[in-house]
Amino acid sequence: MPEQQSYLRFSQTRRIEHWTLVGSFAVLTATGIPQKFSQFRVSEWLLWLMGGLEVARILHRVAAVVLVLLTIYHFGTLIYYWYVERGSPHILPELSDARNAWEQVRFNLGISKEKPRQGLFTFEEKFEYWALIWGTFVMVLTGFFLWNPITATQFLSGEWIPAAKAAHGGEALLAVLSIILWHFYHVLIKHQNKSMFTGYLSAHEMAEEHPLALENQDYVAPTIETTDEEYLARRRKFAYGYGGAAFLLVLGVVWFVSVEQTAVAQPSVIPDLGRASGFTPLTPTPFPTLAAARFDAEKIGTTWENGIGDMFAASCGLCHQGQGSPGNLDLLTYSGALAGGDSGLAVVPNASGISLAVIWPQRQEHPGRLSPDQLNALRDWIEAGAPER
């Protein structure tokens, strides 16, 4: 047994980075899962507890920005450690990890009597780490599509939006389950690893889980003479190279969050029609009956032509009749509903969560409201692809 009683596992900056990630992940989970499963009562209660759907979306997006900025910072620290300090990239996958995984399976089945001897990072830890990196990439990419659907569909076809919605929700659910079933078990239950709290592992823990790191002294930080010219030159190159790249990446994040107005943006002021004054024609315009007489609130159809269009006409058509109406939105025709208005797309097929026709009627200040049955029928119609016939 080594004489040293404890070994530094995570520095203070690494622990701060980890707990910032935990906070971001927790907020993303708490605000994202209720949106994915919005049809359940518990989700409605959670969204109400957070202050409503729009507050939850704002919190979700703030946490997403924190995650992106943390990722930029994290890769900067890795590059600094590998390039400037000449540290060994122990976190990179190796062929030995596949052998260790196979030996661990044999040990778990009782075929082998010895556990695999592993280095500074076990194959389980590497798998979790690179799964996090891959998951973050998928979530950021699909999150951009959902955050900026109009901008995304200027370069890609509309099918990418519902595909991004499915991938975003599926990857999120996979991440939550893997943290609960894999990470919590391996770290807190199986090994009772407290290094992310204290920063250190005991000699017993190191010998048990990372014996090769003890033998090779991989836990020892590389020794650097701060006056070494080559080190100083590498640090200058890093400062210029990564500093410029980080600046461009942060500009990209700013563009990411501001390129278009979506449902999170404050609504335009809706005029109080009861107090409006203006020219009154000598021949009053007949009050539009539209298709309200044919609308049966207890039996809403599943296509535009057999009920959805009538519902829009009866509930929304008085205001939204195209150019000149609030938001320049036409909800009297199928093509107008899909085209949207000034605020964005009213109907995004297969994506009711970002369709303004679902979001706006739930606002307290919006004059037109839909009943729960109407909202459910509208969501089902959109999720089915918003069929016309």
Is 280's pLDDT higher than 60?
no
Q: Using an 8 Å Cβ cutoff, are 295 and 180 in contact?
A: no
Which residues does 67 contact at the CB level (< 8 Å), separation at least 6?
Answer: 21, 24, 25, 28, 136, 139, 140
- Beta-carbon contacts of 142 under 8 Å, excluding residues fewer than 6 positions away, are 164, 165, 167, 168, 171
Distance CA 27, CA 22 (A): 9
Residue 226 reports pLDDT greater than 70: no
The confidence band for 62, taking pLDDT boundaries of 50, 70 and 90, is very high
Cα 151 to Cα 259: distance, rounded to the nearest angstrom: 8
Reported pTM: 0.66
Contact 375, 355 (CB under 8 A): no
- The topology under which CATH files domain 6-258 is Fumarate Reductase Cytochrome B subunit (1.20.950)
Higher-confidence position of 237 and 154: 237
Q: Which two tokens stand for residue 350?
A: 């297969």
Quick one: CA dihedral 344, 269, 287, 298, positive or negative?
positive
Alpha carbon distance 363, 369 (integer Å): 8
Q: pLDDT tens, 328-375?
A: 788 888 888 888 777 778 888 888 878 888 887 777 667 777 778 788
Structure confidence at residue 355 (pLDDT): 81
Cite the residue boundaries of each domain of the chain with CATH code 1.20.950.20: 6-258
* Helix %, strand %, coil % of the chain (to 5): 60, 5, 40
Lowest mean pLDDT among 184-188, 250-254, 286-290: 286-290
Which one has a higher pLDDT value, 336 or 296? 336
pLDDT reading at 69 higher than 90: yes
First to last CA, the chain: 75
